[in-house]
Structure 1
């Protein structure tokens, strides 16, 4: 393995800016790494070799011409296959979009290109971001570099696995109920969900429009903050985008790295202190709390009584929005088209296309959502779930009147074996038990590695108030400074 693939994004950017290595050399090293290990990991659905090398050469030419470079210029990045990329396949892990090459870039992809990052390719994911293990991809599962017989989390398991396997120093994910943070936890990487509206959804293929949040994935907290700074900010093309600057997340990460949390009050969510979590996860969490205390943080217990209802509320709200969003995939305008033999009606073609193009989990959620929105059931299901969402938001508001941030385990268990939960959707859904409340509230959350349980990574989650993303970076960086990073076995 090349030494270049072991460097952090901040280190790579510094070397490129100083002329001590070239963006082309860095990119080629990561492409070589992908070629060497991705047949076993399957983190990528598409590797854009020529596009990446062209982008890297452009960065090198700018540096040679003396032009100023951004803080991540020349750094390779992997992009979850949920974001539109001009001329590059965007499938959302589904057969219904197999081979689709968008005519435009998502706003986040535009910002990555403008910043001089080098897009290596598109990463694997659960179909339409619906899943917690990346086993629901229509193109086969991704495997966890810590143990190739275990899941890398979901829905963004490809992005997290690419980081853990040293195939990329940075990656983009999207988080609807935990799809950035949960993969980060089980792969020993960092995953951050920004404040809803703090990152643009323009060009993001929608699952649940009131929940979907693109965010950064990295191996260190500082790298995640640097990527957050580049990708975030107001976008007039996204009606839900917040017209406010990105909080100074990079400065917060650097401050946290000093290991001083004096004056910071952290709340442990009482409802998440033991509910369904494995003993090894709880042990790593307790040790992390001790480390935070030693750095000066004041730890208090905070009750958020309605968090217990977050999981059922989410699985009414998200599928309801999905049933509406996925109605556009009808075999008429783009993507797969089945049964168009000139004899069938348009309705038959649409039905056959959706039957062939959607996988079982997507169909399950579309049916759940359609039922919850149907006449006579809307108020009883979707309407009630939205009321619970309001109560959860009030829990957060009350909590943040008492503490600066909340902490919990990221996920109740470590990476489970491939195939062990696909037959039981409820057991699969439990992977997001601790992450879903943050999505319903709209605030930021981050998962940072906090230890090992039986040789597998455990993540600690930091949750902060809306538009206070910098707080979570400070706490996460402090914990990272105390515990260090975690390296998987060599592939």
Structure 2
């Protein structure tokens, strides 16, 4: 295998080759660094490339392999982090002027777990400012661009994570998801994006946006790679107040079991007649449902409460909590925020106690409605994004962007949800849907995603990118 296609190896494939000695971690790392240098100037997915750290990590991993030491599936495998994850001795900027000089003294829990396995940190990735305001051109770093067409957005707020994975700069990147910020970039960039159940992955050391809605999770090219990443990071953290102490299964166990006999709910009314929905998205989800039926699943149409109720509930909570987190800087350093961040946080300043109480009450009702459907279904499938990625030119710089995604419902309920590719638009941009499971049943979500991925072969299609 030549160095020019090392980037195409999945985590699982690279792991096998690392362990049989046919490749080295240093070779994978040098290939990734070379690819970043050649391609990323056109994509702006990285804020900080940690080349020296990456080479040291790779050298240490190779030394351990030579001694027969194996610390886990991420050993020797390059990865990257959204730039809201704390990294000891490496700046963590949140893509904001307010944190340009922030160098944490300690790692986030997620980074600690990757480091313990011997993963190779390539760097920190672009986001929207504080995972809220973007895409913006008035920040210290430019917004990331979509590798399928750089004139289009890669989604937000885990924009750099989606772009870097889609471009093959890294096999897996960590994102965060408060209203869809893992699944949105995955949908627009044609990757897998997994939002785990609320409380499954520690958020300690990750800059918060909305403490009752925030989730940490991976973006990757394959479902299997997301399962490997989740296996690495899932687990109880007594110092994260939201963390839940539940048994962690082997997430790889069910990936080959197929969907024979499973019952899957399809709330088609959610998206099929939504404002701004693309007929291509609807047709692609219908094809995916037909594929699952051909594989032996039963797909039944179901109804859920109106999407607008989920969206309003989640946004009231998100903006209120975001304002509470940033209130001091908002009052003392307002001009240091990007315009979109400031506008969005301003909404939270005007929410009343009665508003937030009503939102919390509605949240319980909406969660109950979703979980009642999941008593009779093994999982649900629905839209992630309602249309392909919009162009930067189509976004009004004078108003807060509101591109059509339908990811907020499962931040409100906390259920696991994963965006997976379903095809491509006539313009060549990715299409997607999300798979939603019962609380802490990521194994079922991954199982269904793996079956669909195997049947469609979409993970093999990658954007055409020039390399230096």
> Residue 395 of structure 1: which of 358, 366, 369 is its match?
369
CA distance in structure 2 between the aligned counterparts of 1:22 and 1:488, rounded to whole angstroms:
26
Q: 1:453 to 1:32 in 2, by over 3 A?
A: same
Asked if the contact 1:82–1:205 (Cα under 8 Å) also holds between the matched residues in 2, the reply is: yes
> Residue 446 of structure 2: which of 473, 477, 490 is its match?
473
Q: 1:48 to 1:80 in 2, by over 3 A?
A: same
Once the 2 structures are TM-superposed, how far is the Cα of residue 307 of structure 1 from its aligned partner? 3.1
Partner deviation per Cα, 1:227-259 (whole Å, 9 max, x = no partner)? 01001111112111111133332112233xxxx
Partner deviation per Cα, 1:338-380 (whole Å, 9 max, x = no partner)? xxxxxxxxxxxx62xx2232111221222211210xxxx320x
Q: 1:88 to 1:265 in 2, by over 3 A?
A: same
Once the 2 structures are TM-superposed, how far is the Cα of residue 136 of structure 1 from its aligned partner? 7.5
Asked if the contact 2:167–2:462 (Cα under 8 Å) also holds between the matched residues in 1, the reply is: no
For the residue of structure 2 that corresponds to 1:146, the secondary structure is: coil
Asked if the contact 1:293–1:299 (Cα under 8 Å) also holds between the matched residues in 2, the reply is: yes
Residue equivalent to 1:487: 462
CA distance in structure 2 between the aligned counterparts of 1:121 and 1:366, rounded to whole angstroms:
28
Residue equivalent to 2:416: 444
Is 1:271 the counterpart of 2:270? The answer is yes
Once the 2 structures are TM-superposed, how far is the Cα of residue 190 of structure 1 from its aligned partner? 0.5
Q: 1:134 to 1:483 in 2, by over 3 A?
A: farther
For the residue of structure 1 that corresponds to 2:153, the secondary structure is: coil
Residue equivalent to 1:346: none
> Residue 181 of structure 1: which of 168, 172, 183 is its match?
183
Q: 1:31 to 1:162 in 2, by over 3 A?
A: same
* Alignment TM-score, normalising by the size of structure 2: 0.95
Once the 2 structures are TM-superposed, how far is the Cα of residue 329 of structure 1 from its aligned partner? 4.4
- Please give the residue correspondences for 1:124-273 in structure 2 after superposition, counting only pairs within 5 Å: 124-131=126-133, 133=135, 138-255=140-257, 260-269=258-267, 270-273=269-272
Partner deviation per Cα, 1:113-135 (whole Å, 9 max, x = no partner)? 01111110000000011157576
Partner deviation per Cα, 1:40-76 (whole Å, 9 max, x = no partner)? 0110000000001001100011111121241121110
Residue equivalent to 1:300: 300
Asked if the contact 1:182–1:431 (Cα under 8 Å) also holds between the matched residues in 2, the reply is: no
Is 1:456 the counterpart of 2:429? The answer is yes
Asked if the contact 1:126–1:137 (Cα under 8 Å) also holds between the matched residues in 2, the reply is: no
CA distance in structure 2 between the aligned counterparts of 1:459 and 1:137, rounded to whole angstroms:
29
**Aligned residue pairs, count:** 459
CA distance in structure 2 between the aligned counterparts of 1:278 and 1:456, rounded to whole angstroms:
12
Asked if the contact 2:383–2:432 (Cα under 8 Å) also holds between the matched residues in 1, the reply is: yes
Q: 1:447 to 1:424 in 2, by over 3 A?
A: farther
Q: CA RMSD in A?
A: 1.6
Partner deviation per Cα, 1:260-318 (whole Å, 9 max, x = no partner)? 31111111113233313101111111111111110011011111124331112222110
Q: 1:410 to 1:207 in 2, by over 3 A?
A: same
Structure 2 residue runs of 5 or longer lacking an equivalent are none
For the residue of structure 1 that corresponds to 2:430, the secondary structure is: strand
Could you tell which deviates more after superposition, 33-42 or 410-419? Answer: 410-419
Asked if the contact 2:271–2:282 (Cα under 8 Å) also holds between the matched residues in 1, the reply is: no
Q: 1:163 to 1:248 in 2, by over 3 A?
A: same
Residue equivalent to 1:110: 112
Asked if the contact 2:197–2:442 (Cα under 8 Å) also holds between the matched residues in 1, the reply is: yes
CA distance in structure 2 between the aligned counterparts of 1:124 and 1:458, rounded to whole angstroms:
22
Residue equivalent to 1:339: none
